[in-house]
Amino acid sequence: METRRSVVGFSPGFMVLLFWVSLISRATARFVVEKNSLTVTSPNSIKGSHDSSIGNFGIPQYGGSMAGTVVYPKQNVKGCKDFEEFGISFKAKAGALPTFVLVDRGDCFFVLKVWNAQKAGASAVLVADDIEEPLITMDSPQEDGGSSKYVENITIPSALIDKDFGEKLKKAIRAGDMVNVNLDWREAVPHPDDRVEYELWTNSNDECGTKCDMLMEFVKDYKGAAQILEKGGYTQFTPHYITWYCPRAFTVSRQCKSQCINNGRYCAPDPEQDFSQGYEGKDVVIENLRQLCVFRVANESKKPWVWWDYVTDFQIRCPMKDKKYNKECADAVIRSLGLDGKKIEKCMGDPNADSQNPVLEEEQEAQVGKGSRGDVTILPTLIVNNRQYRGKLEKGAVLKAICSGFEETTEPAVCLSGDIETNECLDNNGGCWQDKTLNVTACKDTFRGKVCKCPLVDGVQFKGDGYSTCEAIGPGRCKINNGGCWQQTQNGRTFSACVDTDGNKCLCPPGFKGDGVKSCEDIDECKEKKACQCPECRCKNTWGSYECTCIGDFLYIRDHDTCISKQATEAKSAWAAFWAIFIGLAMTAGGAYLVYRYRLRSYMDSEIRAIMSQYMPLDSQTEVPNHVSEDHA
Ligand SMILES: *[C@@H]1O[C@H](CO)[C@@H](O)[C@H](O)[C@H]1NC(C)=O
Ligand SMILES: *[C@@H]1O[C@H](CO)[C@@H](O)[C@H](O)[C@H]1NC(C)=O
Ligand SMILES: *[C@@H]1O[C@H](CO)[C@@H](O)[C@H](O)[C@H]1NC(C)=O
């Protein structure tokens, strides 16, 4: 069966629903397909970006991207049969890009095509549309056919492409071109700020087959992460519930009475699709309304995360199959969680009243798409930063989508935990740099996919492009593998070519020559006439240095690289001492004489002046006495 009909719909196809007009169709249905960008990187003739719509199963790599080579099988082009029957395998050879299998739409469920391709080793599936139409979302089937067994196990992403683009790809492949494409989910979720707003359109019905089971499993599994994100203020989560309404002409019909509350205003399909037994649609509407009110009341008391506790507890304690899906059981859960039951009752209002319920009225409004978000038509639907999430409802996959809604570096720790990391590094080291002797790699798995980033080893940051090179650079680099430089020890002496400064160079130490990396060879200073060449010198080479001795009565002076006579040096020093003393004495004598001369002269000066001044006025003193005398006259 083709899946075209199940595109719009959680609603099982029983007759009554056909009479119902959902709010969606009343407000000119606007079904927005969440797209990811598909870029052809080769061949040149079809290079460029195209839209593709993300399948609503499998695991899209939200926040990341994936490159692959497109293969169009020669047989089984629709992928409805096991590829093994045709001896076809899509496993990529070591070192090759992953295989993206292109299959044609039609003849079977989308999920079966993707499952068959995955089993044959494909890394992603592109489904080429068979008619020209706007892109739709590939959904998993409603019916509990054979598909439910494998839908859960689909892990590869898939995307629908339009007919025209599909033809171009096929043509290039037929022409023998290597067709490389890039699937990019990095912009699939906008990230406007450091808080992610998200909504889950859900349902309290636990008896709708695979879809309900998956939803219940997801809620249980994801609850912990949801509560961490909410308590940390990283996210603002809001649960939503879809309701339909009964057209006026049918409000008194038996069907509408059993499916709806508030006189046909808010309805839900019968859980068993059988009006004569079990629970009715209105039981589901009432429980949905209660869950909405639980959220409102919890949110008012600033503990919105209690909603997750309520829905998981209700699911466990009050399942339909145990006939406990009722108010009594719900009240017990409410009490055990310490929620205010009276407030919740008040919020719910009277289901039998012929009037609007403000809470459900808001929900119907919210169903209609706004901005970049389309109408909500598939249940369950997750909306992250106002974009519809596509893919499997599974903790890791959903966390990836939510985490990709944060701006890079603002994501909380739960986003970087092991749970949702990719494991691309296990395969061929993710194509990143690695050093087998040091056992270090530049590959790091993150929720955004692998990144090649030079590592930090023993406190030393490696630098490089992360793909082909990473080198220890800067202080401390010699600690690691001797900075990749030459090093050798002989007779307890070690020489190294690593210089622990900001470079990454290797320099042979003095006494050696070479590239510094692979080798440094001892320089034979004697042979190469580098030192110890004076006539009295006797040279002997050693590892990294040389020894020089002098024959006879000579002494080797290393700084001057020469031999000098021991006697000459002694005589010289004696004379030097003599001269030093002699000059010292001479200078002292001279100095004393100068002092004597100076003092004698100044003494004589003053004596002569005194004597002479008695006979004649001296120039310098003439005016002073006159002046004084005038004063006294
Ligand atoms: C799906 O996976 C589960 C567990 O991983 C396994 O037990 C089951 O057989 C798988 N189903 C199919 C159809 O391969
Ligand atoms: C929950 O509370 C926050 C503020 O505390 C508010 O902004 C938000 O609208 C509330 N959500 C609902 C559904 O009432
Ligand atoms: C390399 O390191 C990893 C952990 O970092 C360890 O599990 C592995 O055994 C190491 N391999 C070798 C060869 O030392």
How many angstroms separate the CA atoms of 260 and 16, rounded?
Answer: 12
**CB-ligand 1 contact for 323 (6 Å cutoff):** no
Q: How far apart, in whole angstroms, are the C-alpha atoms of residue 561 and residue 548?
A: 9
Task: Give the predicted TM-score (pTM) of the model.
Answer: 0.60
Cα–ligand 3 centroid distance for 414 (angstroms): 25
Beta carbons of 445 and 473 less than 8 angstroms apart: no
Q: Determine the residue type at 168.
A: K
Query: What are the φ and ψ backbone dihedral angles of 499, each rounded to 5 degrees?
Result: -115, 120
What's the farthest any 2 CA atoms get from each other in the chain?
158
CA 29, 34, 37, 40 dihedral sign is negative
Determine what percent of the chain is predicted with pLDDT higher than 70.
80
Ligand nearest to the CA of 300: 2
- Give Cβ neighbours of residue 238 (< 8 Å, ≥ 6 apart): 197, 198, 199, 295
Give residue limits of the domains in the chain. 35-184, 196-413, 424-473, 482-522, 535-577
Cβ of 613 less than 6 Å from ligand 1: no
Q: Count of H helices and E strands in the chain?
A: 15, 28
The residues pairing with 554 across neighbouring beta strands, listed in sequence order, are 565
With helix as H, strand as E and coil as C, how does 567-600 read?
HHHHHHHHHHHHHHHHHHHHHHHHHHHHHHHHHH
Give the CA radius of gyration of the chain. Answer: 46
Rounded to 5 degrees, φ, ψ at 70 are -85, 130
Q: Which residue has the tokens 């309304």?
A: 289
Does residue 372 contact residue 192 with C-beta atoms inside 8 Å? no
Ligand 1: which atom is nearest the Cα of residue 153? 1
Closest protein CA for atom 10 of ligand 2: 299
pLDDT at 120: 93
- Report the alpha-carbon distance of residue 443 to residue 422 in Å, rounded: 11
What is the predicted pLDDT for the residue at 610? 62
pLDDT value at residue 98: 85
Our answer on whether the CB atom of 149 is closer than 6 Å to any ligand 1 atom is yes
CATH for the 196-413 domain, from 3.40.30.10, 2.40.50.100, 3.40.50.1220, 1.10.3720.10:
3.40.30.10
Ligand 1, atom 5: nearest CA belongs to which residue? 153
Instruction: Looking at the CA of 441, name the nearest ligand.
Output: 3
Given this model, what pLDDT does residue 600 score?
A: 57
Q: Looking at ligand 1, which atom is closest to the CA of residue 150?
A: 13
* Atom number in ligand 2 closest to CA 238: 13
Q: What's the 436 CA to ligand 3 centre distance in angstroms?
A: 10
Q: How far is the CA of 393 from the centre of ligand 1 (A)?
A: 17
Q: Which CATH class is domain 35-184?
A: alpha beta
Number of C-beta neighbours around residue 252 at 10 A:
11
Residue of 57, 111, 149, 153 best suited for mutating to test ligand 1, as the one with most atoms within 8 Å of CB:
153
> Alpha-carbon distance 284 to 326, whole Å?
9
Averages of pLDDT over each 10 residues, the chain, 633 residues:
30 37 41 73 87 82 81 93 91 80 92 93 92 81 72 87 93 91 79 83 85 88 88 91 85 86 90 79 94 96 93 91 92 90 95 93 85 73 85 84 79 71 73 85 76 84 84 82 86 87 80 90 88 87 89 85 74 58 69 65 63 51 35 34
Ligand 2, CB cutoff 6 Å, lining residues: 238, 296, 299, 304
Of ligand 2's atoms, which has the minimum distance to the CA of residue 302? 5
